Amino acid sequence: PLASEPQATIVESQEKLDDAFTHLLQQIGGGLSVLFEQERLKHKPFWGAVSLAVSVFFMRLTEKGISKELANQVAPKAQQWLENIMPEIGKDLAHIRVAENKHQAILYVQRETCCMKYKIAGKKNCATCQLLSEEDRHKKNIKRIHKQQSN
């Protein structure tokens, strides 16, 4: 149904779609750059949030758990895709990682910018927090597998 909408653009390949998505991200960022300069805002937190938003669907696709083998095959491809579509300023601000237990695995995102969730009263670091050690981040994400298995 979306392809039939008047504002839809039909592309002939996945590569063309990725190119169009990259172009869209660059246009959004370019337009906001002027505002960032006027308001003296930093660009990196914005692009960190964009890279997280763009990559979070890998977490959603695997949230019910997949085989460890599949997760370890998909993670580098997902990371490469993310690096390919993000503008230069947004590269290396999110990394696709694998959390696994004995039975299955999930993909999660390690962000390189802070959402500042830990500053909210009663909240702790998010599961993607770069302030956590790799081991603690892995533990937080492993818990997501256990929660999904019990649901």
Which is higher by pLDDT, 116 or 63? Answer: 63
DSSP state of 94: E
- pLDDT given for residue 113 in this prediction: 85
- pLDDT given for residue 34 in this prediction: 77
From 8-17, 29-38, 67-76, 142-151, the region with the lowest mean pLDDT = 142-151
Q: Once rounded to an integer, what is the mean pLDDT over residues 84-104? A: 88
What's the pLDDT tens digit per position in 67-90? 999 999 999 999 999 998 888 888
Amino acid at 45: P
Cβ contacts of 87 within 8 Å, gap of 6 or more: 22, 25, 26, 29, 47
